[in-house]
Amino acid sequence: MPRLKHTAPDRAVPIDMPASFRILPLIHSMGDTIFDVIWARQAHPSPANELIHVVHGHVKVRLKGAVLRANPGDTILIPGNTIHRDDFDLAKGLETYMVRFRWQAEADYFRTVTIRKFCKYCSLHQVEIVPWVEKMRTAHRHHTSADIWLAQAYLLTLLGLVYRGITIARQKSARHEDYGLRRRKKLFEQARTWIGEHYREPVNLDAIASALKISPYYLSHIFSQESDFTLFAYLTELRMHKAKLLLQQGTHNVSEAAYAVGFNDPNYFSRAFCRCFGFAPRDIRVHD
C-alpha cells in the first residue's frame, strides 16, 4: 500500500478582508444559457454582476479597452453596469452557466479583483474553481430556499478563493520587489566599496562584475538605477577627488597624482581634471 506523502502547508499570509465579505451575495438568476445572436451583435450592460462559466464554445468578451478570451472550463466575472459585447462563432454557438447577482461587498471586491485578474486566475486554476461552479449548478436545480442559500454560499466561496489567490500573488510580488530592491542596493554599495579599494589599478566593468559574481550588464544596470552616475563616471569622479586631495597636500606633482589615482596619461588626466573642477591641476594652489 503506497504511503501518503505529507507536505508542510504554505506559510500563512495575513489577508485583511472587509467585513462586508462575510455577507452572502444575493443571486438574482442562475442557469444554463445558450447565448442569443443579439448578444454578439450589440454592446449591452447588465444591472447585476455576471459570472459566466463557458460550457461549450469560445467567446471574446469585448469591453472598453480590453478583450477577454474564454474557452470551455473558463470563468469570467463582469461587474454590473459594465458595457460589453459577447463575440462568439454564430454557427457553433455558445453555451454557458450564468449567475447574475448583487453583493454588498462588490465595490470593495472589484477594487482588488479586476475583470482581467479574475479571468486569468480562473483560467490558471480551473481545478480549484470548476468544482464550485458545478456545486452551484447542482444546488440551483431544486429551487428550494436551502438550495439557493447553498448556491450563494458556494458563490461566496468561489469569489473568496479568487480574492485570496490574487491577494497572495500580489503580496508575494511585493516581497519579491522589496527583496530585489535590497539586493540592488547591497550590490551597489559593494561595487562602490570595491572601486574605492581598487581605483588606483586599471579598472574595467568585467573585473568589478567578476568580483561581485554578477554579469557586467546587470552591474551597469544597477549603477544606473541606484545613482545619477554611470559606473565609470563614478570611478572618474572618485579619482578626481583623490587626485585633488594629493595635489592640495603638496605631496605629488601633477604627473605623480595622475599615476597615483590610476591614470596612465598625465595629459588626459589634466583635461579630465579641468572638466571636473573647472581649472587645471597645476592651478590647485590658487583654488585652495
The pLDDT value given to residue 232? 85
Task: Compute the mean pLDDT over every residue in the chain, rounded to the nearest whole number.
Answer: 85
The set of residues, in sequence order, having a beta carbon less than 8 Å from that of 286 and lying 6+ positions away, is 279
The type of residue at 256 is E
Neighbours of 139 (CB within 10 A): 21
Q: Do the bridges between strand 26-34 and strand 66-70 make them parallel or antiparallel, or are there none, so unpaired?
A: unpaired
Q: What three-state secondary structure class fits 3? A: coil
Asked if residue 4 has pLDDT above 60, the reply is no
Distance CA 61, CA 164 (A): 25
Q: What is the pLDDT of residues 97-117, one digit of tens each?
A: 999 999 999 999 999 899 999
pLDDT in tens, 40-69: 667 888 899 999 999 998 988 888 878 889
* pLDDT value at residue 93: 82
pLDDT one-digit tens code per residue, 177-204? 667 778 888 888 888 889 889 989 888 8
Angle between helices 216-226 and 145-198 (to 10 degrees): 100
Identify the band that residue 32 occupies on the pLDDT scale cut at 50, 70 and 90: confident
Q: What pLDDT, on the 0 to 100 scale, is given for residue 2?
A: 40
Distance CA 274, CA 84 (A): 65
| Confidence tier at 288 by pLDDT (50, 70, 90) | low
Which of 28-42, 120-134, 168-182 has the largest mean confidence?
120-134
Complete edge-to-edge strand list for the sheet that includes strand 85-88: 66-70, 59-63, 85-88
pLDDT of residue 40: 62
Residue 12 neighbours by CB distance under 10 Å:
6
Lowest mean pLDDT among 5-14, 81-90, 110-119, 246-255: 5-14
**Amino acid in position 273:** F
β-bridge partners, 181: none
The whole-angstrom separation of Cα 27 and Cα 244 is 78
Band of residue 1 on the pLDDT scale cut at 50, 70, 90: very low
Mean pLDDT of 128-147: 88
Query: Mean of the pLDDT values across residues 130-152?
Result: 88
What is the average per-residue pLDDT within 128-156? Answer: 89
Q: Is the pLDDT of residue 287 over 70?
A: no
